[in-house]
Copies of this chain bind each other. A is one copy, B any other.
Amino acid sequence: MRRKVTLKQIAKELDVSISTVSRALNNSKEIGEETRQKIQAFAKFYNYKPNNIALSLKNRKTKTIGILIPEIVHHFFSTVIRGIEIVANQRGYNVIVGLSNESFSKEVINMEMLANGSIDGFILSISKETLLLQDYHHFKETISQGIPIVLFDRVVNDIDCDKVIVDDFKGSYNAVKKLISNGCKNIALITTMDYVSVGKLRTQGYLQALEDSKIHAKGNLILKLDDGLALEEHLDLLETEIEEFFKRNTRIDAIFAVNELYAVTAMKVARKLDFKIPEDIQIIGFTDGVLSKHARPSLTTISQHGQKMGEQAAHLLIDRLQLDTEDQDDEVVDFERDMNFKTVVVETELIERESTK
């Protein structure tokens, strides 16, 4: 087991100083041709690679970005990670991921753990519990320490940072409009509780689309589901909940669901109740995952383009990081930068499949 060779060892072996070795390897022209050759050859032979940690300490930046997400076994989030990883790698960064598991305290812990020098910036999506508590002090503290954050998907307004979102409102609006133009009169909505921002926006899009088409929105056509039901263990509960909803509203001819699982489950229930899809009932879901593609019939969905969101987020963050390192004069720039937070919205796309006409 030969450990990695260091500058010091090379210096000792070649009987020169550490600085000379460093300079030689960085092709400084202060070093004589001959010694440079010698040092480089030696370094290559022993496969010298500078130690990242030492570099991080010296440069006061780690070239790694922290990802903090609620859940990783989830098509959308893993797609975002992939997007982040790709551009991070391209631009010389690593990614370190933490999972909040939708828990506030885990989010805080994780964040503090990483904020102590391990990463240069965060890309994160807020956990549900945090959204519920509306306690964002950890984010603000991190930002005030000079560590930039990029929020994606689940964002809140009162955090000053870059954001990447999809136009949840518009996406839903278009989907419902589509259902209306397909002739649907009684369009049901299956959504989450309001504190999840995206759920709320999607609900608003639904309502607006109805209103613009002079359709009166009826409260009993809206089903707000508890989050617990989305858990793997409670699939059956989710199913019966939706089934009862159906039975209460026999005239439903379309369903718009704010996520894939709700949509697929609704479809399952509809078939069980002998609805023909899409003849008797049409269905659209938000979020395009594997379920939608492989369901029978395949599900018309609104794609969020998770990978693109990840890429955008990474670019935003790294741009800001590199901007930070360029300017040394602190005060003024701080002020200017505050004004410059961007919110990029990634366009959604309606992917039509078999569950709509």
Q: What 1/0 mask marks residues of chain A from 264 to 307 whose CB sits below 8 Å from any chain B CB? A: 10001001000000000000000001110111100000000000
Bound Cα distance from A23 to B3, whole angstroms: 31
Q: Which of A1, A2, A113, A293 has the most CB of B within 10 A?
A: A1
Beta-carbon contact of A118 and B94 below 8 Å: yes
Copies per complex of this chain: 2
Q: Is A339 an interface residue (CB 8 A)?
A: no
Assess whether A96 is in contact with B96, with CB atoms less than 8 Å apart: yes
Q: How far is the CA of A290 from the CA of B73 in the complex (A)?
A: 10
The range of chain A's interface size is 35 or more
Select from chain B the residue with minimum beta-carbon distance to A5.
B145
Knowing A1-B145, A51-B117, A116-B52 are in contact, say whether A95-B97 is a contact too (CB < 8 A).
yes
Is A75 within 8 A of B73, CB to CB?
yes
Closest to A97 in B: B97
Q: Which parts of A76-90 form the interface with B (CB within 8 Å)?
A: 78-79, 81-82, 85-86, 89
CB distance from A309 to the nearest CB of B (A): 13
Check B3–A145 contact: CB distance below 8 A: yes
**Closest Cβ neighbor of A296 among chain B residues:** B296
| Structural contact, A118 and B330, CB atoms closer than 8 A | no
- 98-152 of chain A: CB within 8 A of chain B: 98-99, 110, 112-118, 144-146
Residue A54 CB within 8 A of the other chain: yes
* Chain A contact residues, CB within 8 Å of chain B: 1-4, 49-54, 56-57, 62, 64, 72-75, 78-79, 81-82, 85-86, 89, 94-99, 110, 112-118, 144-146, 235, 264, 268, 271, 289-291, 293-296, 330, 334
Closest 5 CB pairs between A and B? A96-B96, A51-B117, A52-B117, A53-B117, A49-B116
